[in-house]
């Protein structure tokens, strides 16, 4: 067993010994590409979405130096009658070259990455096959190994884009190495039975074309047949919650929200597994260099990007054009490029509308909390002013200062993050969401919540163990703020908060189209258990 040549199945064995969700169907997709013109595959997905798990699974399956039957015979790939033949045909039949590029970066100087890979793999080949003749160049050595053993290579590159993300000044030599190794003509098809690369970013563009043009790409924007292997599906998370006696409702609120291929609602696998292991729902979005860079991207404020970020945090959908993004961390022509990068990093999710328009939004409570933390650390003056304004708005709301609340909402309406022109109640709702953006830290926000005899416009439920009161906000258009409060009571909207024993603050907000004025009324209901069917509060 080597470091880069035939690393064995110990990595996947450890994965199987822990909480495991069966994603072995991925193997059948790679098997379909073996010895076909489609044998070069690149799959990109956000951090913490199981990229390394997939790489270790593929190593264990293809590596000819080990017997991995006991790891796969009880998984879906072995049980599926339609692919059972190919399952046995390719199981442990190949020499495998597996490169974890983050590991390589930790061992080699950035300018020596390519020679380090070539020398390391060559030395392991020579140790394994003493009769092997080294070639003048790397691919010649690989070809000689195929001729000697009669077995082509399966090559797996995990975090393939790490050198581009972390050492962009040396990316040309690295891309040239990959381009030469996987060129469309020459010895590539004589050396490799299949190649699988995975990373955060799609393949770097070279002008208008991909720098490694022969790879079939499946990106986070268009994962195609790899969609259900991109994260955990809702059914998979439901089964985990049943197994570990955890609330599926809370899991959905925390980690759901990624929509791939417009068909699947996906969950971040890392966060879900951490929640099952610790038996606590919370943010497991650990800091990385990419995560730290988020603050830098937001502080660029490309074309009003920060105003869009505020709208995203408040629950808005933002149109985004992903076509111009050049798949790196440095080239940003406009805010669409920054938003596209945030989609690839997993900070935003992407859906394509029927009319072809792309929209981005924050997927779930976990990520919204990360945005909120970063916003308070931002350097942009207007952003900090809005945060302070929102902090004071919440304070004034809880104190019952209705006149000041109305004035603050009017000020937020005049800012760039809210709709400049009201034409209906939905536009008013957008302004109120922006105005109460500080509630992201301390409340669960639910809109149009069914309760009593209607739908409460906006409900803010304090997080578990919080001493804050709950807020029920009703919006009116060309009517009265008192009428909004009356509707909350008459239709029994507090019924949604069964079991909540804290204080309730009822907020009625009206906008008069003729006078262009916001008015507000606030009433408080002392804490006592309320009526039925409240959704459980998260931690």
pLDDT average, residue stretch 230-253: 93
Sequence-distant (≥ 6) Cβ neighbours of residue 428 within 8 angstroms: 422, 475, 477, 509, 511
Report, at the CATH architecture level, how domain 10-218 is classified.
3-Layer(aba) Sandwich (3.40)
Q: What percent of the chain has pLDDT over 70?
A: 86
Burial environment of residue 255 by CB neighbours within 10 A (0 to 12, 13 to 18, 19 or more):
buried
Return mean pLDDT, the chain. Answer: 85
Dist. CA 236–CA 131, nearest whole Å? 48
Worst-scoring range by mean pLDDT, 15-24, 112-121, 152-161, 364-373? 364-373
**Using CA atoms, how far apart are residues 309 and 466, in angstroms rounded to an integer?**
26
- Summarize the confidence of residues 359-375 as an average pLDDT: 83
Structure tokens given for 370: 């990360």
Question: What pLDDT is recorded for position 421?
Answer: 67
Whole-number Å distance between alpha carbons of 334 and 48: 27
Among the ranges given (35-39, 142-146, 276-280, 305-309), the one the predictor scored with the smallest mean pLDDT: 305-309
For the stretch 340-357, pLDDT in tens is 988 998 889 988 877 778
pLDDT, residue 302, reads 63
Residue 96 banded pLDDT, cuts 50, 70, 90: very high
Q: 53: which strand partners? A: none
Cα of 471 vs its chain's centroid, Å: 30
In the block, residue with structure tokens 């019952």: 400
Instruction: Render pLDDT for 484-535 as a digit per residue (tens, 0 to 9).
Output: 999 988 888 887 777 777 889 999 999 998 998 999 999 998 765 444 444 4
Pair 429, 457: CB distance under 8 Å: yes
For CATH 3.40.50, the residue range(s) in the chain are 10-218
pLDDT given for residue 398 in this prediction = 94
Query: Which numeric CATH code is attached to 289-379?
Result: 1.10.10
Spatial strand order in the sheet of 358-361: 318-319, 358-361, 349-352
Outline which parts of the chain fall under CATH 1.10.10: 289-379
Confidence of residue 380 (pLDDT cuts 50, 70, 90): low
pLDDT value at residue 23: 95
The answer on pLDDT for 419 being more than 70 is: no
In the predicted structure, residue 82 carries a pLDDT above the cut 90: no
Residues 382-525, CATH architecture: 3-Layer(aba) Sandwich (3.40)
3-state secondary structure 472-498: EEEEEECCCHHHHHHHHHHCCHHHHHE
Residues 241-250 have a mean pLDDT of: 94
pLDDT digits 0-9 by tens, 30-64: 999 999 999 999 999 988 888 999 999 999 999 99
């Amino acid at each position: 067993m080597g470091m880069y040549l035939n690393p064995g199945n110990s990595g996947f064995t450890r994965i199987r010994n822990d909480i495991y969700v069966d994603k072995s169907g991925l193997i059948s997709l790679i098997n379909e590409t073996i010895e076909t013109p489609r044998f070069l595959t690149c799959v990109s997905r956000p951090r913490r979405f199981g990229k390394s798990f997939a790489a270790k699974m593929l190593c264990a399956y293809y590596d000819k130096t080990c017997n991995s039957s006991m790891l796969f015979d009880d998984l879906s790939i072995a049980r599926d009658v339609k692919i059972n033949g190919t399952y046995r045909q390719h199981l442990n039949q190949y020499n495998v070259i597996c490169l974890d590029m983050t590991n390589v970066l930790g061992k080699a100087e950035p300018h020596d990455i390519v020679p380090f890979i070539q020398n390391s793999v060559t030395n392991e080949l020579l140790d394994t096959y003493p009769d092997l003749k080294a070639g003048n160049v790397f691919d010649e050595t690989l070809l000689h190994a195929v001729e000697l053993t009669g077995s082509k290579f399966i090559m797996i590159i995990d975090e393939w884009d790490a050198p581009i993300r972390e050492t962009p000044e040396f990316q040309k030599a690295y891309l040239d190495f990959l381009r030469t190794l996987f060129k469309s003509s020459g010895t590539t098809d004589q050396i490799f039975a299949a190649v699988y690369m995975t990373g955060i970013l799609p393949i770097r563009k070279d002008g208008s074309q991909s720098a490694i043009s022969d790879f079939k790409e499946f990106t986070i924007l268009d994962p195609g047949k790899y969609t259900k292997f991109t994260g955990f599906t809702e059914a998979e998370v439901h089964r985990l919650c049943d197994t570990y006696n955890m609330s599926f409702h809370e899991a959905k609120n925390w980690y759901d929200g990624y929509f791939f291929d417009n068909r699947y609602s996906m969950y971040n696998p890392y966060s879900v597994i951490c929640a099952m292991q610790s038996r606590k729902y919370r943010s497991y979005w650990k800091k990385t260099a990419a995560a730290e860079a988020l603050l830098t991207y937001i502080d660029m404020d490309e074309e009003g990007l920060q105003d869009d970020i505020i709208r995203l945090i408040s629950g808005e959908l933002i149109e985004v054009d992903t076509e111009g993004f050049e798949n790196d961390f440095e080239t940003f022509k406009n805010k669409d490029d920054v938003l596209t990068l945030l989609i690839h990093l997993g900070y935003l999710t992407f859906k394509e509308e029927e009319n072809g328009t792309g929209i981005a939004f924050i997927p779930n409570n976990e990520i919204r909390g990360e945005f909120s933390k970063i916003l308070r650390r931002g350097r942009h003056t207007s952003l900090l002013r809005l945060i302070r304004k929102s902090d004071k708005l919440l304070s004034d709301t809880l104190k019952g200062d209705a006149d000041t609340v109305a004035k603050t909402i009017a000020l937020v309406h005049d800012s760039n993050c809210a709709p400049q022109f009201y034409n209906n109640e939905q536009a008013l709702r957008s302004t109120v969401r922006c105005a109460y953006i500080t509630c992201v830290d301390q409340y669960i926000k639910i809109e149009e919540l069914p309760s009593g005899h209607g739908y409460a416009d906006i409900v803010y439920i304090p997080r578990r163990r919080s001493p804050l009161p709950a807020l029920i906000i009703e919006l009116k258009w060309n009517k009265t703020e008192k009428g909004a409060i009356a509707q909350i009571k008459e239709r029994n909207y507090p019924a949604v908060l069964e079991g909540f024993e804290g204080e309730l603050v009822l907020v009625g907000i009206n906008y008069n189209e003729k006078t262009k004025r916001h008015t507000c009324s606030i009433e408080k209901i002392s804490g006592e258990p309320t009526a039925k069917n409240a959704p459980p509060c998260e931690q």
